[in-house]
Amino acid sequence: MPIYAIKKARISEYEVANLHILKEEGILKDLGIKYPIDLNSWQSIFESIKAHKQFAIVESEQAQVDSFLIGKLEKIGKKKLSLLYFDGAGIFEKDIIKKKYKDITSVQFDDNYTNTFSKYVRFPD
Protein backbone atom coordinates (compact mmCIF):
# COMPACT_ATOMS: atom_id res chain seq x y z
CA MET A 1 0.00 0.00 0.00
CA PRO A 2 1.53 3.32 -0.94
CA ILE A 3 1.93 5.78 1.92
CA TYR A 4 -0.10 8.44 0.08
CA ALA A 5 -3.13 6.12 0.27
CA ILE A 6 -3.15 6.24 4.08
CA LYS A 7 -5.54 8.94 5.23
CA LYS A 8 -5.54 8.36 8.99
CA ALA A 9 -4.68 5.88 11.71
CA ARG A 10 -6.56 5.09 14.87
CA ILE A 11 -6.10 3.31 18.13
CA SER A 12 -9.43 2.61 19.76
CA GLU A 13 -10.43 0.38 22.63
CA TYR A 14 -10.52 -2.53 20.15
CA GLU A 15 -6.86 -2.14 19.14
CA VAL A 16 -5.86 -1.67 22.80
CA ALA A 17 -7.71 -4.88 23.74
CA ASN A 18 -6.13 -6.71 20.80
CA LEU A 19 -2.63 -5.63 21.85
CA HIS A 20 -3.34 -6.73 25.43
CA ILE A 21 -4.46 -10.19 24.26
CA LEU A 22 -1.46 -10.61 21.94
CA LYS A 23 0.88 -9.64 24.79
CA GLU A 24 -0.78 -11.99 27.29
CA GLU A 25 -0.62 -14.87 24.78
CA GLY A 26 3.08 -14.24 24.10
CA ILE A 27 2.40 -13.47 20.44
CA LEU A 28 3.28 -9.76 20.49
CA LYS A 29 7.02 -10.45 20.86
CA ASP A 30 6.95 -12.35 17.54
CA LEU A 31 5.37 -9.51 15.57
CA GLY A 32 7.36 -6.95 13.65
CA ILE A 33 10.62 -6.93 11.75
CA LYS A 34 13.75 -7.98 13.59
CA TYR A 35 16.13 -5.79 11.56
CA PRO A 36 15.98 -2.40 9.86
CA ILE A 37 14.44 -2.07 6.40
CA ASP A 38 15.21 1.08 4.41
CA LEU A 39 11.81 2.15 3.05
CA ASN A 40 13.05 4.95 0.78
CA SER A 41 12.58 2.97 -2.46
CA TRP A 42 11.95 -0.52 -3.80
CA GLN A 43 15.68 -0.79 -4.43
CA SER A 44 16.54 0.04 -0.81
CA ILE A 45 13.83 -2.30 0.49
CA PHE A 46 15.15 -5.24 -1.51
CA GLU A 47 18.76 -4.43 -0.61
CA SER A 48 17.77 -4.52 3.07
CA ILE A 49 16.00 -7.85 2.66
CA LYS A 50 18.88 -9.37 0.68
CA ALA A 51 21.44 -8.19 3.26
CA HIS A 52 19.71 -10.49 5.76
CA LYS A 53 19.72 -13.42 3.31
CA GLN A 54 15.96 -13.52 3.19
CA PHE A 55 13.83 -14.99 0.43
CA ALA A 56 10.83 -12.92 -0.61
CA ILE A 57 7.39 -13.02 -2.17
CA VAL A 58 7.01 -10.30 -4.79
CA GLU A 59 3.57 -9.56 -6.19
CA SER A 60 2.12 -7.54 -9.03
CA GLU A 61 -1.60 -7.20 -8.43
CA GLN A 62 -2.33 -5.13 -11.51
CA ALA A 63 -4.57 -6.73 -14.14
CA GLN A 64 -2.05 -6.37 -16.98
CA VAL A 65 0.94 -7.82 -15.02
CA ASP A 66 -0.64 -9.99 -12.32
CA SER A 67 2.03 -12.26 -10.86
CA PHE A 68 3.20 -14.01 -7.71
CA LEU A 69 6.93 -14.72 -7.42
CA ILE A 70 8.67 -16.37 -4.52
CA GLY A 71 12.38 -16.95 -4.33
CA LYS A 72 15.91 -15.80 -3.71
CA LEU A 73 16.81 -12.19 -4.45
CA GLU A 74 19.69 -12.24 -6.92
CA LYS A 75 20.39 -8.77 -8.31
CA ILE A 76 18.96 -5.49 -7.07
CA GLY A 77 19.10 -2.80 -9.75
CA LYS A 78 17.95 0.80 -9.95
CA LYS A 79 14.77 -0.04 -11.89
CA LYS A 80 14.31 -3.79 -11.55
CA LEU A 81 14.87 -6.84 -9.43
CA SER A 82 16.25 -10.23 -10.47
CA LEU A 83 14.88 -13.20 -8.56
CA LEU A 84 15.54 -16.94 -8.63
CA TYR A 85 11.95 -18.21 -8.52
CA PHE A 86 10.85 -21.55 -7.09
CA ASP A 87 7.56 -23.26 -7.79
CA GLY A 88 5.00 -24.88 -5.48
CA ALA A 89 7.05 -28.08 -5.39
CA GLY A 90 10.08 -26.15 -4.13
CA ILE A 91 12.07 -26.44 -7.35
CA PHE A 92 14.05 -23.46 -8.62
CA GLU A 93 13.41 -22.37 -12.19
CA LYS A 94 16.44 -22.56 -14.46
CA ASP A 95 16.22 -18.90 -15.50
CA ILE A 96 16.35 -15.76 -13.39
CA ILE A 97 13.14 -13.71 -13.49
CA LYS A 98 13.33 -9.93 -13.75
CA LYS A 99 10.60 -7.70 -12.38
CA LYS A 100 10.38 -3.93 -12.86
CA TYR A 101 9.76 -2.01 -9.66
CA LYS A 102 6.94 -0.06 -11.31
CA ASP A 103 5.03 -3.36 -11.62
CA ILE A 104 5.46 -4.43 -7.97
CA THR A 105 2.59 -3.77 -5.60
CA SER A 106 3.66 -5.77 -2.53
CA VAL A 107 6.50 -7.73 -0.97
CA GLN A 108 6.53 -10.22 1.90
CA PHE A 109 9.56 -11.66 3.65
CA ASP A 110 10.59 -13.41 6.86
CA ASP A 111 7.13 -14.97 7.15
CA ASN A 112 6.35 -18.60 8.04
CA TYR A 113 5.46 -19.64 4.48
CA THR A 114 8.59 -18.21 2.85
CA ASN A 115 10.93 -19.30 5.64
CA THR A 116 9.59 -22.85 5.67
CA PHE A 117 9.66 -23.36 1.90
CA SER A 118 13.09 -21.78 1.51
CA LYS A 119 14.59 -24.53 3.69
CA TYR A 120 13.52 -27.21 1.19
CA VAL A 121 14.06 -25.61 -2.23
CA ARG A 122 16.30 -27.40 -4.67
CA PHE A 123 17.51 -27.18 -8.23
CA PRO A 124 15.94 -29.49 -10.83
CA ASP A 125 17.68 -32.84 -11.41
Q: How many domains does the chain have?
A: 1
Q: Which amino acid is at 75?
A: K
Domain membership flag for residue 13: no
Domain membership flag for residue 82: yes
* Per-residue confidence in pLDDT tens, the chain, 125 aa: 667 778 888 889 999 999 999 999 998 888 888 889 999 999 999 999 999 988 999 998 876 766 899 999 999 999 999 999 999 899 999 999 999 999 999 999 998 899 998 999 999 88
Provide the whole-model pTM.
0.77
Q: CA of 17: how far to CAs of 22, 27, 41, 48, 100, in Å?
A: 9, 14, 34, 33, 41
Q: CA of 85: how far to CAs of 14, 51, 77, in Å?
A: 40, 18, 17
| Domain, as residue range, for 97 | 35-118
- CA atoms within a 13 Å half-sphere pointing along the CA-CB vector of 76: 14
